[in-house]
Structure formats: C-alpha cells, structure tokens
Amino acid sequence: MEQSHIGIVQLTKYFGKTRVIEGVSCEVRQGEFIVILGPSGCGKSTLLRIIAGLEGVTTGEVYIAGKMVNDVEPKNRDIAMVFQNYALYPHMTVWNNMAYGLKVRGTPRPEIEARVKRAADILGLDGLMQRMPRQLSGGQRQRVAMGRAIVRDPVAFLFDEPLSNLDAQLRVQMRLEIKKLHQLLGTTCIYVTHDQVEAMTLADRLIVMSNGKFMQIGSPLEVYERPENLFVAGFIGSPPMNTAPARLTSTGDGVELTGGKVLPLGMRFGQAAGKKVVVGMRPEQISIVDGGQSTFPVAVKMVEPLGAETIVYGELTAETTVIIRVAGSLRVALGARLDLEIRPEHIHVFDPDSGNRMGGDLK
C-alpha cells in the first residue's frame, strides 16, 4: 500500500449476521477520482463510511497515505465528507458553517478567513456568506457543504450521493462544478452514486458494486466497452445491453440465436464450440438495414420518440426483447418487421452459468 493514497485490503463488514461487504480490495492513487457505482443496498455508502471511520470493519484493513487507520478516529483521518443531505448547521450563517470545523481545531482567525474566502471564490458563494441555510436553494446548500470540505484542505474528499436531492438541471450544473473542482484542487476523491451518468462523466476509474462485491474496476470506457460479467453489462448503459440465449457454432466463430439465425463473431471460441452462451449487444451498436446475410429479424413492440433519438423495442422471440437506439426520429408501425445488423466485434459473449465474460482468440 506504499504506492497508493487510499487502500482497502480484503475488507468485510457484517451488521449482525448480515454480510454487507464481502472481501473487497482496491488502491486509489494520489489525485485520482474514483466513483463507486451500484444499485441501492449494494454496500457502497457503507464502504465510504468505513473509509471515513464512521463505521468499523469486521475484517480487513484500511490505509490512508500509507498508514493503516482501522483504529484511528474519524477526526484524525484528515478526510472531508460531503453528504447527500448537506448536513449544514441551521442556526449558523454560511460563513460560520464553513469556518466552524477550523474553529474547533483551533486554527488562527486570519487563516480561517483566508481559507473560507478562497473556498467561497472557487464556488461562487461570495454574496451568500451572511445567509442562513433556510435562505438557500438546494444547489447553494450543496455548494456550502462542499465549501466546508474544501476549507479543511484534506487528503481526500468523500462524496456520498451528493446530488441525489437536486432536480435534473441542477444535477448537471453541480456535476460540472465537482469536475472543475477536482481539476482545480487535484485532491483525491471517492464518490458514491447509483447514477451511471454521474459515474461515467466524473470518474477516472469506476468500481461497480453488487451485493457487497466489486464486480469490475476500470476506466468508464473499459467498463462500457468490455464488461466482465452480465451484471456490469446490464447495469452500465442506458438503455442497458441486450442479452439473449444462444449457442456457439461448431467452429466457434459464430453464434446461433434462438430460431436458427447465425451471426459471425469477431473472435473464435474454438474450445467452447457448441456451448450454450449468452450474447450481449449494445442498443446503440445495432443498425436497422434492408436485409442481408448477417441480419436478424424482430417485430416492433413499442417505439419511444425522444427527439434527438428514438428507442425501438423489438421482439426477437416470445421471451427475448431487443432494444435499438437510433439517432434522430424514426417512424415505424407497431408489429412491423425490422432487419437488424451488428458488427461482429460488438457482440459480447458470456458464460450462462457463471455470468462471466468469455475470452476467445483473435481470428
């Protein structure tokens, strides 16, 4: 852990007999922006609270700046946390909310004033310093909460779903503020969210969690383009990746869909030839064509016109729906037949038993 800024090693957490985190490990580099992404209840906020010292560990180790901090009090970890509910003192002005933590630590008054002014300048809070929290909008309150963290000048910022209480337009604005803040300060950040747009746009690296486990760690594009398992494939992307049961051909370089249609693959799976698999196809990588050797047909079930794009739901079989994402507007009747095509290198192959991605050989 000497090379990492924040590290966790084989971390496990139980609440009573319920296991909420199961043996996870990772290293966060100095200045890195890590996003922990997963559905509600997967353990991501608990993990963040463990790093902050607000929860203890059952087994495993937590390191900050190369030192194990399992038994170090939260106030001594030099971590600043920004919560979902802002957690501002309602009876204090904006200035006092931002300065309070420094006062408690006995920081000299001139330094407090300099740090608070710098944070206010960065976040555009200059005209709000004498207001009370009740006089602020949700976005302004979240800026104050971030300002309170900035004045601490910590070794790392921990964000626990900080934008969840904001409306869609404010979320976009605050997401940009957080990105600019990280670029300006260069402080290590760990950010928890269930929103994949936040995750994809903010992260240097993503940690995708499910049921207390790390399902994949990688850059946003790595996770999107090469999901390691069916959970990540279905969780990353909007609309999510299409999956369908299939079987590898006898030569291992194609896949046979239900109904007998064979599609070529970008890799050869010789050792698994003939094996049942699950194929994955991103909606935006499927094209509507006029027919051809490598196409497969669907019947249109539903169309969602969204202006800049159109989402089409097609029935491949009675049990399998294929979602297609088309740029611009598309007029198509319900029940109409569409011929779809996808390039071989964009087809993902997964093992139906383990759910893991299958590796093949380049053709």
Q: What is the pLDDT of residues 240-249, one digit of tens each?
A: 999 999 999 9
Distance CA 25, CA 3 (A): 15
Q: 337: which 2 tokens?
A: 């037949």
- SS3 state at 177: helix
How confident is the model at residue 361, as a pLDDT? 74
Among 55-64, 239-248, 266-275, 290-299, whose mean pLDDT is lowest? Answer: 290-299
Closest alpha carbon to 148 in 87, 193, 106: 87
| Cβ 2 vs Cβ 41: under 8 Å | no
Beta bridge partners of 240: none
How confident is the model at residue 170, as a pLDDT? 84
How confident is the model at residue 1, as a pLDDT? 45
Domains in the chain with CATH codes: 6-233 (3.40.50.300), 241-362 (2.40.50.140)
Distance CA 214, CA 223 (A): 12
Distance CA 263, CA 30 (A): 45
Q: What is the pLDDT of residues 146-202, one digit of tens each?
A: 999 999 889 999 999 998 888 888 888 889 889 999 999 999 999 999 999 999 999
Number of helices (H) and strands (E) in the chain: give both, helices first.
8, 22
Classify the C-alpha dihedral 35-39-45-46 as positive or negative: negative
Residue 218: pLDDT band with limits 50, 70, 90: very high
Q: What is the pLDDT of residues 302-350, one digit of tens each?
A: 999 999 999 999 999 888 999 999 999 988 999 999 999 999 999 999 9
Strand ordering across the sheet containing 188-193 = 79-82, 156-160, 188-193, 33-37, 205-210, 213-218
| Cβ 287 vs Cβ 338: under 8 Å | no
What is the pairing mode between strands 67-68 and 18-28? unpaired
Residue 294 has pLDDT above 80, yes or no: no
Q: 28: which 2 tokens?
A: 């966060």
H helices of 186-242, where?
196-202, 220-225, 230-235
Q: What is the pLDDT of residues 67-102, one digit of tens each?
A: 999 999 998 999 999 988 888 999 999 999 999 989
Residue 135 has pLDDT above 50, yes or no: yes
H helices of 282-349, where?
none
Classify the C-alpha dihedral 202-208-212-213 as positive or negative: negative
Distance CA 149, CA 156 (A): 10
Classify the C-alpha dihedral 214-218-223-229 as positive or negative: negative
CB 190: neighbour CB atoms within 10 A?
25
Distance CA 343, CA 287 (A): 9
| Cβ 124 vs Cβ 173: under 8 Å | no
Mean pLDDT in the chain?
A: 92
Tokens 């029940």 belong to 335
Residue 59 has pLDDT above 70, yes or no: yes
Q: 306: which 2 tokens?
A: 């969204």
| Cβ 223 vs Cβ 216: under 8 Å | yes
Strand ordering across the sheet containing 18-28 = 18-28, 6-15, 59-64, 67-68
Residue 291: pLDDT band with limits 50, 70, 90: confident
How confident is the model at residue 173, as a pLDDT? 87
